[in-house]
Amino acid sequence: MKDIYIRGISGLVYVVVLWSFTSYSETTFGFLFLLMGIISVYEMWKLRKGKSKLIALLYVIIPFCIVQLFGFSDHNYPTSNFDPSPILIMFVLTWVFDTFAYLTGSKFGKNKILPKISPKKSWEGFAGGLLFSVISVYFIQLYFDYFRLYLLLIFSIVIPFTATAGDFIESYYKRMANAKDSGKFIPGHGGMLDRMDAFMITIPTLYILMNLLNENL
């Protein structure tokens, strides 16, 4: 019971800090992601101790560099104000998917996706997370008017795949290192990478999509 309490409190603090620093200003957003990037690189370096590190480090470094460019998705930037909406929308869609994938998988999960890498991930959980990710678009578009509705729907379908891929990659590196968590930075959750793995493939993918479809933003 104590572990659940600690996990809940630390998870809430993580979400509040991530949301607050991202939405407050470009400076706080940049500082936070720089700090998280440094911690994540350190954790991956430790996981790959004694092994080749280049690809593993690129898996971490590239997303944390690209996320700093999200302000440039507005092509009037830097003369216009920094708008954190794309990043906040990414947070919401990813968290919705992760939460409902976990809840659905815990209740109905029978068919595992890659049991040797991540034994708790199931196709039923993935389907449940994907469904609620799409449903959440209705509520997201009530609060954010940054993207057109059909773009939000595209993102809500793409993110479950990229989030799952990011999770599997980090799980693979942990398996190779015989480690349960990437670190101990967040009580009850493990390391920074354990909280950010879902964004590692999502960030570059969304950035590419946003720029390919920038005429519709």
Q: Which two tokens stand for residue 110?
A: 């029978």
CA–CA distance, 49 with 76 (Å, rounded to integer): 44
Q: Which two tokens stand for residue 178?
A: 């015989």
CA–CA distance, 44 with 31 (Å, rounded to integer): 20
Give me the chain's average pLDDT, please. 86
Position 119 scores a pLDDT of: 85
Counting other chains too, the contacts that 25-29 makes at CB distance below 8 Å and 24 or more residues apart are 25/82, 26/71, 26/82, 29/82, 29/84, 29/87
| 26-47 and 54-66 helices, crossing angle to 10° | 170
In the predicted model, what is the mean pLDDT of residues 83-101?
91
What is the domain partition of the chain in residue ranges? 2-216
Position 75 scores a pLDDT of: 44
Say if residue 205's pLDDT is above 90: yes
Say if residue 133's pLDDT is above 90: yes
Q: What is the pLDDT of residues 169-193, one digit of tens each?
A: 999 999 988 888 888 877 767 888 8
Distance of CA 115 to the CA centre of its chain: 21
In the predicted model, what is the mean pLDDT of residues 98-125?
90
Q: What is the pLDDT of residues 8-52, one digit of tens each?
A: 787 788 888 989 999 888 888 889 999 999 999 999 999 988 888
